[in-house]
Amino acid sequence: MSHRVTLLPGDGIGPEVTAAMKMCVEAAGVKIDWEVCEAGETSIAKYGKPLTNEVLDSIRRNKTAIKGPITTPVGKGFRSVNVQLRQSLDLFACVRPCLYYEGTKTPIKNVNLMIFRENTEDLYAGIEFDLNTPEVTRLRTLINEMSLKKIKEDSAISIKPISVSASKRIVKFAFEWAVHMGRKKVTAVHKANIMKFSDGLFLRCAQEVAQAYADKVEFSDCIVDNMCMQLVQHTHLYDCLVLPNLYGDIVSDLCAGLIGGLGIAPGANYGDDIALFEPVHGSAPKYAGKNKVNPTATILSAVWMLHHLKEEAAATRLDNAVRAVLKEGKDVTYDLKADRNDPSAVGTMQMAEAICKKM
Ligand code: NAD
With a 6 Å cutoff on the Cβ, whether 260 touches ligand 1 is no
**Residue 91 in contact with residue 81, Cβ under 8 Å?**
no
Select from 262, 340, 342 the residue to mutate for testing ligand 1; criterion: most ligand atoms less than 8 Å from CB: 262
Give me the mean pLDDT over the 77-86 stretch.
89
pLDDT at 1: 73
- CB contact burial 287-304 (16+ within 10 A = b; e otherwise): bbeebbbbbbbbbbbbbb
Tally of CA atoms within 13 A in the half-sphere of 287 that contains its CB: 21
What residue ranges do the domains of the chain occupy? 1-96+265-359, 107-112+162-258, 122-160
Where in the sequence numbering do the catalytic residues fall? 124, 191, 225, 249
CATH of domain 107-112+162-258: 3.40.50
Under the banding of pLDDT at 50, 70 and 90, the label for residue 314 is very high
Candidate of 283, 298, 335, 341 to mutate for ligand 1, largest count of ligand atoms within 8 Å of Cβ: 283
Helix boundaries (H) for 28-161: 41-47, 53-62, 81-88, 134-146
121 lines ligand 1 (CB under 6 A): no
- On the question of pLDDT at 321 being above 80, the answer is yes
pLDDT band of residue 329 (cuts 50, 70, 90) is very high
How would residue 75 be classed by pLDDT, with cut points 50, 70 and 90? confident
pLDDT score at 27: 97
The 10s digit of each residue's pLDDT in 162-204 is 999 999 999 999 999 999 999 999 999 999 999 999 999 999 9
Average pLDDT, the chain: 96
The superfamily (CATH) of domain 1-96+265-359 is: Isopropylmalate Dehydrogenase (3.40.718.10)
Note the pLDDT tens digit of each residue in 212-242: 999 999 999 999 999 999 999 999 999 999 9
Percent of the chain past pLDDT 90, that is, above it, reads: 95
Indicate if ligand 1 lies below 6 Å from the C-beta of 267: no
How does residue 273 score in pLDDT terms, banded at 50, 70 and 90?
Answer: very high
Question: What pLDDT is attached to residue 274?
Answer: 98
106-110, 211-215, 281-285, 311-315: segment of lowest average pLDDT: 106-110
Helices assigned H by DSSP within 13-161: 14-27, 41-47, 53-62, 81-88, 134-146
